[in-house]
Structure 1
Amino acid sequence: MNYKTILHTMIFNLLLALALSACSGADNNHANAVIDDGSEIIANDYKYIKSSGDIRIMTYNSFYCKGNNGTPTFSDENTHRFASVIGALAPDVVAIQELDSSCVHRNKRYLLEEISKYTGIDYELFFGSAANFDGGRIGCGLLVKRSMKVDDVKFTPLPGDEPRMLIQAKFPKFTVFATHMDLNPMNRKESAKLINNKAKKSVVPLFLIGDLNDSPTWKPEQSAFPELMQKFKIVSDASGSLPEQPGVTIDYVLLGQQHAEKIAVTGTHVVRRLSVKGEQLDLSTASDHYPVFADIRLK
């Protein structure tokens, strides 16, 4: 191979790497990335600023706000850290999993309320109380900016070895289902069937968001996605939502196939590093999940 051919090959590989970097939703616009020749694309701001007119829909598992730094502690500091991530990303709608309320050995806190307060954003709270635990309740939740004007909210129990809940929030032009699916694959499959039956009745675009404890890459007998994908499609970054299991994604924003033509997805990211009050944070210590968001626009 002569010098000119080698040079052309190097240029082609460089351009291809840059093109793939630009298209990926996985932090490449806001994090250091290494290209073929070993050079580094320097991080710009890690701020993930939402475009005017977009609606940001996010899911984030709190890990009960005990931190993920090797010594889990149910502390106010860890709750502040988790909430600061939401405050910096400023989602219009965020589903949060692993929440507790009035649990004796967790200072009888109302975790969703504390998170909401510490974000500094005027959110409306919806707690999907699912199971008894330590004298209180645990479940999933939804925070919605008050400017979003929720028309109606319903709660439907889902199958689970640990009881689960589906939160259904109806907005004027779309609906959000938020949940935290069970670890048992049979329960997830039954949950998917129930969710699909509800999805069929929606007259507006429908999003399913949350920690689904599932992946379309798993064997069909272990996954609820063969069922879910009959009515939904994945619209969020799926490059890996678990800090300790690189490349594995179980946190999603799904869009119902029915009425999907009324929605434009303008951006999506799994957020691993984030600028919070001028400091760049490694989010692997805030929770055992990364936040996942999709920015959407109504057509």
Structure 2
Amino acid sequence: MRKSLLTFALLCCFAAVFGQRVRVVSYNIHHGNPPAQAGKIDLEAIAKVIIDSKADLVGLQEVDVRIPRSGGIDQAHQLAQLTGMYYFFSKGIDYDGGEYGTLILSRYPIVGNRRYELPMPESSEGRSLAIVDVALPHGRTISFANTHLDLNETNKVAQAGYINELGDWYDRPLILVGDMNAKPQSKAIQLLDTCFARNVELNGPTYPNQAPDSEIDYIMVGKHSNVVWRTYKTLSSDASDHFPLFAEIEFK
């Protein structure tokens, strides 16, 4: 009897660690400005999307930190408070006396973080890649990356190649999310496809939020990770000019 209980406990432990499901959101929040309401900043609406999704990991793009157009507040800190999550902000550029960039929110402790400036062969707006290491329940650690690629095609392709180089370093599971400013058939996405896997069966347009016609926001997983896509969909919201993108991923 004791041996049977021990075996059962070990199997439960194995299932918990190696069958971990993670809920992920990628969302370009347009600095909290609903496109139908010029000048309004509504971070509570953004936070509600995140809370309602029950996301474990969130990558946000177009986040203001102490910029006058959004009231001079630290949106990264405020969104972390509104959602009750850990956070890591990654600056893209200095803007109007503040900083503008991307934000990672995590339900679980962030045990490591890194910021990389993305290559810019042609003069344009600075972009970055943020990566955090997150300690999941039962002791497993995964990495989560968030970015916002440039509109310039040359820069976008160079940035995708650089992200691939970084992705090759990882043995642990690596999730990549972001506004890639690129459609699935573009050179930048095809390049990322060589290093990252994405769901290609249930995808739909993510931009603009009114009459959407472009898929430019993505959730991807490093190809070395053994995963199953349990859910992949856009979420309904008028809080930004992009739709939030949601996925539930199971690490086998």
Coarse TM-score class (shorter-chain normalised): 0.7 to 0.9
The residue aligned with 2:31 is: 64
Equivalent pairs, count: 224
User: How does the TM-score come out when normalised to structure 2?
Assistant: 0.83
Quick check: 2:110–2:133 contact (8 Å CA) kept in 1? yes
Q: Which structure 2 residues correspond to residues 155-194 of structure 1 after superposition, within 5 A?
A: 155-160=115-120, 161-171=124-134, 172-194=140-162
Classify the secondary structure of the residue corresponding to 1:177: strand
1:47-70 superposed Cα distances (whole Å, 9 cap, x missing partner): xxxxx952101101111111121x
Amino acid at match of 1:244: Q
1:91-118 superposed Cα distances (whole Å, 9 cap, x missing partner): 1000000011111343211012222223
1:25-44 superposed Cα distances (whole Å, 9 cap, x missing partner): xxxxxxxxxxxxxxxxxxxx
**Structure 2: distance between partners of 1:110 and 1:240:** 30
Amino acid at match of 1:110: D
**Structure 1: distance between partners of 2:145 and 2:182:** 16
The residue aligned with 2:196 is: 232
The residue aligned with 1:149 is: 109
Classify the secondary structure of the residue corresponding to 1:151: strand
Quick check: 2:183–2:215 contact (8 Å CA) kept in 1? yes
**Structure 2: distance between partners of 1:55 and 1:63:** 25
The residue aligned with 1:253 is: 219
Q: Which structure 2 residues correspond to residues 4-83 of structure 1 after superposition, within 5 A?
A: 54-69=21-36, 71-75=37-41, 78-83=42-47
The residue aligned with 1:89 is: 53
* Identical-residue share of aligned pairs (%): 25
Classify the secondary structure of the residue corresponding to 1:88: helix
The residue aligned with 2:245 is: 292
Give the RMSD, CA atoms, in angstroms. Answer: 1.8
- In our comparison, the structure showing a higher alpha carbon Rg is 1
Quick check: 2:184–2:216 contact (8 Å CA) kept in 1? no
Classify the secondary structure of the residue corresponding to 1:224: helix
**Structure 1: distance between partners of 2:33 and 2:231:** 30
Classify the secondary structure of the residue corresponding to 2:141: coil
Classify the secondary structure of the residue corresponding to 1:141: strand
**Structure 1: distance between partners of 2:245 and 2:152:** 23
Per-residue deviation, 1:245 = 4.9
**Structure 2: distance between partners of 1:105 and 1:149:** 31
1:12-33 superposed Cα distances (whole Å, 9 cap, x missing partner): xxxxxxxxxxxxxxxxxxxxxx
Gaps of at least 5 residues in structure 2 are: 1-18, 135-139
Gaps of at least 5 residues in structure 1 are: 1-51, 273-282
Cα distance change, pair 116–150 in 1 and its aligned pair in 2 (3 A): closer
**Structure 2: distance between partners of 1:105 and 1:57:** 29
